[in-house]
């Protein structure tokens, strides 16, 4: 029997080695969708809901205006396209950097695996040669030698340890081969993602150049009309009304989503508490059942002892044949418990809370505040300027014969980085008449920072940002004459002086 087992082990080793040494690269797989593509599709689906809401909100704001044509509207499509292309190129550059780092890590891991596998193959080859040379004769001789049984047993155990070591080595080798295959798939996916990124970069650069040329041509034909409209008092007032309407509607939407986020958190906490209570009840029930089983076994022992005592009392006493004295009765045997008291504890079955009749729809909380209450107010007078440049217009100053400035305008070179003054969440990022490419960041506690006339918006609606994160690049969109940034801070819908908050 031992010989058969040894032969089977040797055969298994030979088969495994044959599989190891003859495995070849798999056939080239058919083109497949990369993980990056899947994640992009999922992200677009996730953003679709909030984008639709904000598009409707913008349309509602526009309904309050007259249908009077604005020259800057002609630029809207190309300015939005330039913004999107710039954002896409920035995102693609970040993805490319991350993917290149992943490829480098995978290459290093592949080399380490290759070295390990080469070493393991050498070990298996040596074991195979030794097993072939030794065969099974030594084991047979050991069994039939008639030697000390203890020594035979010790030697057989040693052989068993060797067999286990061989099996462990084989298992490790198979695991490493599987890791190589997985690593190869990941590397191939990363290379395909890099190709995708390169193709998308080429496409976005072409779009960017095309739209820049288109915008330049439009500016050439619209420059006189834009200059005239910038002087119109009514236009400036409509811009202010448009911004006030946008902030008002956004504030309501943010409040709704904040309440939805709080309700969802309470629901999750209640569900977690219900699960904890159910688990505790199940544990207590299991302990009670175990205690009851022990008590029942003890009662059975007591009944058995009483039965044995009655039987012993009915039997005549034994006499010592030499002395004739009564022999004291042997102690009653203690009944053996068929179930040991040290039995492993039975895992408590935790009943899941009863499923709801209809699973609640996940609330839309994409615009819920990302900062705790009161955090932004504590930063008053400590914020950094959103862009490096020259202050050209201050809060409260008159705009010619029109309304006063509700924010400030900072002259800056086109393309200069615009940074969030504090942490928060992007609640609006799109083109709007009078402000061009506009981005608003909610800082909680009904505080908003507003960044207008940007060349490009680098963040999307719903994105959480930290203070100092690049969110846009300065420009002169929306029909503005000079390149720079229009900046506001609002609290509860009212504009406040940014100079009280920001160190310029």
Low-confidence ranges of the chain (pLDDT < 70): 1-33, 35-55, 57-72, 131-162, 223-234, 324, 326-327, 329-370
- Give the start-end residues of each E strand in 53-142: none
Cβ 457 vs Cβ 429: under 8 Å: yes
pLDDT of residue 146: 59
Q: Are 177 and 116 in contact (CB under 8 A)?
A: no
What's the pTM value of the predicted model, to 2 decimals? 0.60
pLDDT for residue 399:
81
Looking at residue 398, the DSSP 8-state letter turns out to be B
- List the end-to-end C-alpha distance of the chain, in Å, as a whole number: 90
Helix (H, G, I), strand (E, B) or coil at 213: helix
Would the CA dihedral through 393, 396, 397, 401 be positive or negative? positive
pLDDT at 21: 47
pLDDT given for residue 442 in this prediction: 94
Q: Which two tokens stand for residue 481?
A: 């004459």
- Dig out the tokens for 155 from the structure: 């030697």
The span from the CA of 63 to the CA of 298, in Å, is 84
Q: How far apart are CA 58 and CA 246, in angstroms?
A: 7
Q: Which residue has 């040797």 as its token pair? A: 10
pLDDT at res. 233: 59
The DSSP code sequence of 61-123 is: HHHTS-----TTHHHHHHHHHHHHHHHHHHHHHHHHHHHHHHHHHHHHHHHHHHHHHHHHHHH
Q: In Å, how far from its chain's centre is CA 369?
A: 19
CB 230 within 8 Å of CB 72: no
156 closest CA partner among 142, 168, 146: 142
Q: How many whole angstroms separate alpha carbon 374 and alpha carbon 443?
A: 9
pLDDT at residue number 477 = 92
pLDDT score recorded for residue 377? 92
- Contact (Cβ atoms closer than 8 angstroms) between residue 145 and residue 152: yes
The C-alpha atoms of residue 162 and residue 107 are separated, in whole angstroms, by: 34
């Amino acid at each position: 029997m031992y010989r058969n087992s040894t032969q089977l082990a040797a055969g298994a080793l030979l088969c495994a080695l044959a599989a190891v040494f003859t495995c070849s690269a798999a056939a080239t797989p058919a083109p497949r969708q990369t993980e990056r593509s899947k994640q992009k599709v999922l992200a677009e689906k996730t953003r679709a809901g909030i984008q639709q809401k904000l598009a409707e909100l913008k349309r509602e704001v526009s309904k309050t205006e007259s249908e009077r044509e604005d020259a800057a509207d002609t630029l809207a499509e190309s300015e939005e396209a330039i913004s999107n292309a710039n954002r896409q190129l920035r995102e693609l550059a970040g993805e490319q950097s991350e993917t290149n780092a992943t490829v480098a890590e995978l290459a290093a891991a592949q080399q380490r695996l290759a070295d390990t596998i080469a070493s393991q193959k050498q070990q298996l080859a040596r074991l195979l040669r030794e097993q072939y040379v030794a065969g099974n004769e030594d084991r047979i001789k050991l069994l039939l030698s008639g030697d000390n049984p203890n020594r035979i047993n010790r030697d057989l155990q040693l052989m068993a340890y060797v067999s286990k070591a061989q099996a462990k080595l084989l298992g490790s080798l198979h695991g490493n081969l599987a890791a190589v295959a997985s690593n190869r798939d990941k590397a191939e996916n990363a290379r395909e993602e890099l190709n995708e990124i390169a193709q998308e970069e080429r496409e976005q650069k072409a779009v960017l150049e095309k739209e820049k040329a288109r915008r330049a041509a439009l500016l050439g034909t619209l420059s006189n009309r834009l200059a005239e409209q910038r002087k119109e008092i009514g236009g400036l007032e409509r811009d202010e009304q448009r911004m006030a309407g946008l902030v008002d509607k956004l504030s309501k939407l943010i409040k709704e989503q904040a309440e939805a986020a709080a309700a969802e958190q309470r629901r999750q906490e209640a569900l977690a508490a219900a699960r904890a209570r159910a688990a505790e009840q199940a544990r207590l029930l299991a302990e009670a059942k175990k205690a009851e089983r022990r008590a029942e076994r003890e009662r059975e022992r007591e009944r058995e002892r009483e039965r044995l005592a009655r039987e012993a009392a009915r039997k005549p006493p034994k006499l010592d044949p030499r002395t004739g004295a009564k022999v004291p009765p042997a102690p009653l045997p203690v009944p053996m418990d068929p179930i040991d008291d040290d039995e492993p504890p039975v895992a408590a079955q935790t009943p899941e809370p009863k499923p709801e009749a209809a699973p609640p729809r996940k609330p839309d909380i994409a615009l819920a505040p990302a900062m705790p209450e009161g955090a932004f107010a504590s930063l008053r007078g400590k914020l950094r300027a959103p862009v490096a440049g020259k202050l050209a217009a201050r809060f409260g100053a008159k705009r010619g014969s029109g309304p006063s400035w509700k924010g400030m305008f900072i002259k800056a070179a086109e393309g200069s980085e615009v940074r969030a003054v504090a942490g928060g969440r992007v609640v609006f990022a799109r083109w709007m008449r009078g402000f061009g490419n506009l981005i608003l960041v909610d800082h909680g506690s009904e505080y908003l920072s507003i960044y207008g006339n940007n060349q490009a918006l680098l963040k999307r609606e719903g994105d959480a940002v930290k203070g100092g994160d690049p969110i846009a690049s300065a420009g002169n969109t929306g029909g503005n004459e000079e390149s720079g940034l229009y900046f506001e801070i609002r609290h509860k819908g009212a504009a406040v002086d940014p100079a009280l908050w920001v160190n310029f």
